Chain A
Amino acid sequence: MAIQVSGITKQFGSYKALDAVDLEVRSGELLALLGPSGSGKTTLLRIMAGLESPDAGSLQLNGEEALGLKPRDRQVGFVFQHYALFRHMTVFDNVAFGLKVRPRGQRFGSAEIKRRVTELLELVQLGHFADRYPAQLSGGQRQRVALARALAIEPKVLLLDEPFGALDAKVRKELRRWLRKLHDDIHITSVFVTHDQEEALELADRVVVMSQGRIEQIGSPADVYDHPSSAFVYEFLGQVNRFDCTVEDGVARIGNGALSIPTDPAVRGAAIAYVRPHDLGVSPAAGGPGRISGVHVVGPDARVEIELAGLSLEAEMDRERFGALGIALGDRCAVHIDRARVFAR
């Protein structure tokens, strides 16, 4: 089911959470709403679910106006950051809840409910946990119960609010892959909210980057990472070196000309240049302008900090390359920029 958001605006007191947001969620896709806290991503998700109502704008689910519909009539599955499982119910009863509260005419018999719940619990790999209470499960297991519970009502759309936010790093990664696989299997239109750019880039078909109640950019993960449309997006997606610079005749000069980058001649005057750490090259040079001020080798990667003309730079490379360069703390070095983006101020 496709979702069409048009001109949605939401104000909390004097704080504008959403400012005339337009967005189309395509049928069957897995879409990430990515942004820092306070960017309005969760509010947008809650408006789609009907848990919050906007001040203005319209929301269409499959071409039909949905703002007038109650949450329970929207056929939307919602997964909360902190699971929100019913504490006094077993895993089975949690998953069965949505089926048991159906109006009398549409309710399945108890044998059919049991069959469906068992099937869902198998799907989320918790078949043996039906009789447990949520308190007896780990965080990752609880979130999978929450997912099974949301899927039980056969929703047309699945909305997930920071679904991995409360989990530790390892479980988060596992669950992320598992969710991607699940989505590939059942192809339900899904929207998830996250502040973790790695999560959004790895999991989503398309990423919506939000900031201060507005959408900054919509695109595929590769698209938003390689071609960020604004300084905010560049800075938000991944590590970055940020320099103040001045642009003259298509060349951005950084640190009084210690570094220069060719740029779009349309940009003039004061600007900001961004260089990703892996686009910054380092080579040993006896009389070079830079000095190695820090070296951190973590797992397969090496992070090198460089001081150059009063600037602090960060370069990233794989461990082998770092070893081949043969540089050490305190050495002089030269720096070259493979790729950069310059945004006018």
Chain B
Amino acid sequence: MVAASSTDTAFPRAGGAVTSILRKPSVIPGFGLTLGFTLTYLSILVLLPLGALIAKAGGLGWSGFWNAVLTPRVWAAFEVSFGLSLVAAAVNAVFGFIVAWVLVRYSFPGKRLVDALVDLPFALPTAVAGIALSALYAPNGWVGKPLNELFGLKVAFTPVGIAIALTFIGLPFVVRTVQPILEDLPPEEEEAAVSLGATRGQTFRRVVFPAVLPALVTGFALSFARGVGEYGSVIFIAGNMPGLTEILPLLIVIKLEQYDYAGAAAVGTAMLLVSFVMLLVLNLLQTWMRSRHAR
């Protein structure tokens, strides 16, 4: 009966004589035009400045490049920037998911307001956020003072403060990537799980969470990437002590102020490479997850 019918359509037949490797026959017009436009646009907008950066760093030669990058100060800034961005992205992944869950699953008064609130970190100038956060978390601030007195926890001018600033600016990325996926989740899948005997916890763990995971990884990656590049909101709360709370973007600015353009370019290039590799890995992870249950 129907058992064999689906395999027949799995392999689309090769069309006319002019079938190239690059282009499958399609009725959607404008392939050449749009691909050309896309490549040109991305080249001018993205590749050109990045290429200029790498070319500038290349002026140092291999040994000059390694000398500029492999100093304890740069190394420490790498750890601060990437390490704390990962921490912030992880925090966002957990709490951003909860925010998205609440916004999708429940209705309560003021829901639209909360929904709009999520986007504020996008809209606020980062310097404003930085000043507000450092005022709050400073040893004499509204939040910083009780934290210090009750728990002995110093937030401003420590790595914790940087993590808080990065969490603040990264939150919308997770919420906004997870939210639409949660909204599209068919309720029948959860009903099916429940009628098959699953508890609420099992339903969440085995049905809901795996369906949302690819989006969560995207949100995590975006939040992380944003954190690595973040400057404005961090420098006020960080304290900027070299080797301890100095972030990479700030180190680059410092090098620029000292007219060490090639050194700044070298650090920038190294940052670019690490970011690229990490994002690539996250992307591959996601492609792998999605390919397993593409509709």
A and B are interacting partners: yes
CB atoms of A136 and B6 under 8 A apart: yes
Contacts of A38 in B (CB 8 A): none
B1's closest neighbor in chain A, by CB? A174
Closest residue of chain B to A129 (Cβ to Cβ) is: B3
Residues of B within 8 A of A74 (CB): 195
Shortest CB distance B284–A (Å) = 18
A133-B293, A174-B1 as given contacts; A88 in contact with B195, CB under 8 Å: no
Query: Is residue A232 contacting chain B, with contact meaning CB distance below 8 A?
Result: no
Complex Cα spacing A152 to B2, Å = 22
- A201–chain B nearest beta-carbon distance, Å: 22
Measured between beta carbons, the chain B residues less than 8 angstroms from A82 are 186, 188
Q: Give the distance to chain A from B8, nearest Cβ to Cβ, in Å.
A: 10
Q: Are A49 and B211 in contact (CB under 8 A)?
A: no
Chain A hits for B26, CB < 8 A: none
A50 located at the interface, meaning its Cβ lies under 8 Å from any Cβ of chain B in the complex? yes
Given A51-B191, A88-B210, A88-B293, answer yes or no on A101-B1 (Cβ-Cβ < 8 Å). no
The number of chain A residues with a CB under 8 A from chain B is 42
How many angstroms from the CA of A153 to the CA of B193 in the assembled complex? 11
Is A260 engaged at the interface, CB distance under 8 Å to the other chain?
no
Q: What's the nearest-Cβ distance from chain A to residue B2, in Å? A: 4
Asked if B294 is an interface residue, CB under 8 A from chain A, the answer is yes
Given contacts A87-B293, A88-B292, A101-B206, contact A76 B195 (CB under 8 A): yes
Counting residue pairs across A and B whose Cβ atoms lie within 8 Å, the total is 96
Closest Cβ of chain A to B98, distance in Å, is 21
Interface of B is mostly: helix
* A80 sits at the interface (CB 8 A): yes
Q: Would you call B272 an interface residue if the criterion is a C-beta within 8 Å of the partner chain's C-beta atoms?
A: no
- Cα of A150 to Cα of B207 in the assembled complex, Å: 16
**Which stretch from A137-145, A182-190, A299-307 is at the chain B interface?**
A137-145
Contact partner of A137 (CB less than 8 A), chosen from B1, B6, B198, B292, is B6
User: A141 contacts B186, CB within 8 Å?
Assistant: no
Tell whether A56 is near chain B: CB-to-CB under 8 Å: no
Q: Most chain-A CB neighbours within 10 Å: which of B189, B191, B196? A: B196
Chain B's nearest CB lies how many Å from the CB of A17?
Answer: 17
Which residues of chain B in 278-294 are interfacial with respect to chain A, using CB atoms and an 8 Å cutoff?
Answer: 292-294
What is the chain A residue whose CB lies nearest that of B214?
A88
Measured between alpha carbons, how far is A98 from B191 in the docked complex, in Å?
12
With contacts A88-B293, A101-B199 taken as known, whether A126 is within 8 angstroms of B188 at the C-beta atoms is: no
A87 touches B193 (CB 8 A): no
Q: How far apart are the CA atoms of A217 and B195 in the complex, in Å?
A: 29
Given A72-B199, A97-B196, A153-B197: A171 touches B2 (CB 8 Å cut-off):
yes
CB distance from B201 to the nearest CB of A (A): 10
Give per-residue flags for A64-87: 1 if the beta carbon is below 8 A from chain B beta carbons, else 0.
000000111010111010101111
Residues from chain A with a CB closer than 8 A to the CB of B188 are 80, 82, 84
A and B contact pairs by CB, cutoff 8 A, 9 listed: A71-B191, A72-B196, A78-B195, A82-B186, A87-B293, A87-B295, A125-B3, A137-B6, A150-B195
